[in-house]
Amino acid sequence: MQTKIKFYKDRVAVNFLAKDKKNGADVFNAIDGYTAIGVLSKQFDTVEEGIEYVKDYMKDVPVVSVGLGAGDPAQFQKAALIAAATDPGHVNQVFTGAAYAAGALKAMKAENTAVNVLMSPTGIVGKVKISTGELSAKEEPAIVDVDTAMAMVLDMRAQGIKYFPMGGLKSKDELKAVAEACARHGVPMMEPSGGVDLSNFKEITKICLDAGVEKVMPHIYGAVIDKESGNTKIEDVKAVYQMVKELLD
């Protein structure tokens, strides 16, 4: 997997949001660069606006995760095209948009950006929902075997599994099965997301590491954002970094 993302001990990075470029740079520095800072496509009216913003953002924050915006599947094309033009390091995709994004990156020679694929818990261990696209999300859920889903991810030339929404540890047993399948098939990166906070970050990350996943990048968002200022709290970023060190040192 080629990506600008730097992983602590080559195993763990953390995906954070930030209020603005300054907050993003502060977060990036607080975790010694073992992160990708989320920039959400939903905030931009056009692809061009997003490209301009991300290019400027990357002057201070060298690794960006181009996101959808609350998992909004309608943003998949915008996110893919912004990433293809900026080679930010990471781009978030719905299941059905991953191949589009991988193709766009390839066409633009954006060779250092990893594509993740959104799949969701179903309440059944070993089964995942892959109908997470703009139109498919509105239809009867497509629930498939996790091994089939992993093979499809590799078919689409994507590199990561965004497992969302987990509800924290509510989907713990399902997460373990997905992480084990991820390792079994050689999908390089697992990205647990949804309800991750300071109380469960360590356990969620450990489940993925223990399953043998090559690289883990949990997404921790609202739990570390100051409700008044909107900034991601630097002391919380440092606390997360300490937990990463405890897991791997």
pLDDT of residue 123: 97
pLDDT at residue 236 is higher than 90: yes
Q: Closest Cα to residue 183, out of 65, 63, 11?
A: 11
Mean pLDDT of 14-35: 97
Spatial separation of the C-alpha atoms in residues 41 and 117, rounded to whole Å: 16
pLDDT of residue 164: 94
Q: Which residues contact 222 (CB under 8 A, 6 or more apart)?
A: none
pLDDT at residue 71 is higher than 90: no
Length of the chain: 249
pLDDT at residue 213 is higher than 90: yes
Domains and CATH numbers, the chain: 14-248 (3.20.20.70)
pLDDT by residue (tens digit) across 76-135?
999 999 999 999 999 999 999 999 999 999 999 999 999 999 999 999 999 999 999 999
Of all residues in the chain, the percent with pLDDT exceeding 90 is 98
Q: Closest Cα to residue 63, out of 113, 132, 109?
A: 113
Instruction: Kindly indicate the confidence band of residue 70, based on its pLDDT and cuts at 50, 70 and 90.
Output: confident
Q: What is the residue-averaged pLDDT of the chain?
A: 97
pLDDT by residue (tens digit) across 146-187?
999 999 999 999 999 999 999 999 999 999 999 999 999 999
Beta-strand runs (E) in the chain: 14-17, 35-40, 64-67, 89-91, 114-119, 127-129, 143-145, 160-163, 189-192, 215-216
CA dist 150 to 9, 25, 33, 161, 191, Å?
Answer: 25, 34, 29, 8, 14
Q: At what angle do helices 146-155 and 172-185 cross, to 10 degrees?
A: 50
Q: Closest Cα to residue 58, out of 91, 19, 25, 26?
A: 25
Tally Cβ neighbours within 10 Å of residue 143.
Answer: 15
pLDDT at residue 241 is higher than 90: yes
pLDDT of residue 209: 98
Spatial separation of the C-alpha atoms in residues 77 and 100, rounded to whole Å: 8
